Amino acid sequence: MEYLIFAIAGYLLGSVSSAVVVSRLMNLPDPRREGSGNPGATNVLRLGNQAAAGLTLAGDILKGALPVLVARWLFDDPLTAALAGAGAFFGHLLPLFFGFKGGKGVATALGVFAALSLPVAGGLALTWLVVALVFRYSSLAALVSAASAPAWTWWILSDPVYTGLAALLALMLVLRHRANIGRLLAGTESKIGK
């Protein structure tokens, strides 16, 4: 029963769109309708300011981390924590409260991994940073980091449930970046700082 409860609770928390809430509170345009149309920290930065983007990023990370932390605190069961994290992640992608129009899930996935293991989250953040610094594409950095998530998770945690969660989140992150992949292949993806 706790599996269903934590999956649903994670989904409901994940459905709170940090980008939309922060934008409304700070009188910024709706990120679902302006800029890239993606309700995430990068688009909020594009439409507003660093403070709004920072709050959005923090909110997205927290909503991924909190359900996992609570599940791990209450139950010593990887599947309960994994379902709570998956629920939060899918809530971000398909938010119940915002017409099922969500973000790409990078920050929320990072929150899930941070709650599972800070070394895993650190490895993913390091992967993102190195790729971003070398190639200057945020989307490419997110894709490479996502693809590396199962390897980091298996190497550090050696748990098949958490590795399976990492593989699921990685697959969904790649699918959510389909348009970015097309632009990367066409050479039209915008670089960081441009």
Mean pLDDT over the full length of the chain: 95
- Residue 36 confidence (pLDDT): 85
Candidate from 40-44, 109-113, 116-120, 144-148 with smallest mean pLDDT = 40-44
What would the pLDDT profile of 75-100 be if each residue is shown by its tens digit?
989 999 999 999 999 999 999 998 89
What would the pLDDT profile of 174-190 be if each residue is shown by its tens digit?
999 999 999 999 999 98
- 145 CB neighbour count, 10 Å cutoff: 26
Q: Check whether 2 has a pLDDT greater than 80.
A: yes
Q: Is the dihedral of CA 50, 56, 61, 65 positive or negative?
A: positive
Q: Check whether 193 has a pLDDT greater than 80.
A: no
Match 């992967």 to its residue by tokens.
127
**Is residue 121 a contact partner of residue 162, using CB atoms and an 8 Å limit?**
no
**Is residue 23 a contact partner of residue 29, using CB atoms and an 8 Å limit?**
yes
- Mean pLDDT of all residues in 25-42: 91
Q: Which pLDDT band, with edges at 50, 70 and 90, does 49 fall under?
A: confident
- Residue 104 confidence (pLDDT): 94
Q: Check whether 150 has a pLDDT greater than 90.
A: yes
Give domain limits for the chain. Answer: 2-186
- Could you say which DSSP state residue 34 is in? S
